[in-house]
Amino acid sequence: MDKGSHAKKHHQQPTTEDIKQKSRPESKRSDSTKTHLTKSEQLLRIEDHDFAMRPGFGGTAVSVGIDVQIESIDSISEVDMDFTMTLYLRHYWKDSRLAFPSSTNRSMTFDGRLVKKIWVPDVFFVHSKKSFIHDTTMENIMLRVYPDGNILYSLRTTVTAMCSMDFSSFPLDTQNCSLELESYAYNEKDLMLHWKNEKEPLKTDEQILLAQFFIHEFRASSGLAFYSSTGWYNRLFINFILRRHIFFFLLQTYFPTMLMVMLSWVSFWIDRRAVPARVSLGITIILTMSTIITGVNASMPRVSYVKAVDIYLWVSFLFVFLSIIEYAAVNYLTTIEERKKMKQREKEIT
């Protein structure tokens, strides 16, 4: 009786081992839902490798090829000394960890969701002020993986970067701007950045048109950048030369200024005794010239050197100013002469 009751009591109270065994399947089920992998991720063995490290970590530098297709140059600002460009940026490298068996030797294409789970080059734009990846209707990111582990990573981005401009010859100036690409974390010992196609690394849309400039030349180059704390880095350059259209400034600045100077000469044919006519004409022309000078300088940065358009405008302003000084001098001299004649007449009468 004691044995039966003891066995019944033992049967009713589970041991700690029973509790652990019951809890194990549930934890496995919850873990399996968290680490569920898609078929493509299982084929690429995403969970088998640590993609926080670059391919061939500890060995030779990984070679990353770059090519760029420029879609448009959206704007060029003289005041801010920058330009905005939209481009397709493509990266090429090999990661043997992503190699997969394929009987047809066909590649697999993915969107931006897989990019967050594998290693990709950390290329950034040097001297950029702001940039973003287009995300309408989805992020404009494409990842293509080949069976042998070769990878194509493409994205569509818009970047605003600095351009050091020289306005000494403005508006007959030519500006040389560049967009520079570089790896942020990996120096040349870990990552070798180069143009994918040396003959044609840069492609442009034939429809690229700018309001005030025409594109004289597009070219690509490469070099090294040194940082005292981290070492040497590979840097790629996209250089483009812009030549300004002069016709806009001829219509808006040069021709009106020329007409104002010629109009100031009209006062030379107005009778010197018509003081209101000559003074009002001269003051009106000076105010108009001041408006033209202010309008030109408002669209330009406040540089500390003299521009070519400044010389033209201020010389024109000087001509207008001298026309008023000429009338003042003529009026003063004729007044003195008349006073002398009046005194001489008074002497003759007396």
Distance CA 193, CA 91 (A): 10
Q: What is the pLDDT of residues 102-117, one digit of tens each?
A: 777 788 888 888 888 8
Q: What Å distances lie between residue 199 and 41, 195, 322, CA to CA?
A: 36, 9, 60
Question: Which one is predicted more confidently, 242 or 199?
Answer: 242
Average pLDDT, the chain: 84
What residues does CATH 1.20.58.390 cover in the chain? 248-349
The mean pLDDT value for 318-330 works out to: 88
Confidence of residue 30 (pLDDT cuts 50, 70, 90): very low
Q: How many residues are recorded in the chain?
A: 350
CATH 2.70.170.10 boundaries in the chain:
40-244
What whole-number distance in Å separates Cα of residue 249 and Cα of residue 309?
10
CATH H-level superfamily of 248-349? Neurotransmitter-gated ion-channel transmembrane domain (1.20.58.390)
Which of 47-51, 140-144, 163-167 is least confident? 47-51
Q: Write the pLDDT tens digit of every residue in 83-93.
A: 999 999 999 99
Q: What is the pTM (predicted TM-score) of this model?
A: 0.75
Contact predicate 247/285, CB 8 Å: no
Q: Look up the CATH architecture of domain 40-244.
A: Distorted Sandwich (2.70)
| Beta-sheet pairing, 191-195 with 62-77 | parallel
Residues 211-258: pLDDT tens digits?
A: 888 888 888 999 999 998 899 999 999 999 999 989 989 998 999 999
Confidence of residue 8 (pLDDT cuts 50, 70, 90): very low
Q: Name, of 98-112, 117-131, 274-288, the range with top average pLDDT.
A: 117-131
Least confident of 26-30, 205-209, 238-242, 294-298: 26-30
What CA–CA distance (Å, rounded) separates 328 from 334?
A: 10
Instruction: Give, in order, the Cα–Cα distances in Å from 132 to each of 92, 275, 292.
Output: 21, 64, 38
| pLDDT for the residue 14 | 52
pLDDT band at residue 18 using 50, 70 and 90 as cut-offs: low
Measured between alpha carbons, how far is 292 from 246 in angstroms, rounded to an integer?
17
Q: Answer whether 244's CB lies under 8 Å from 174's CB.
A: yes
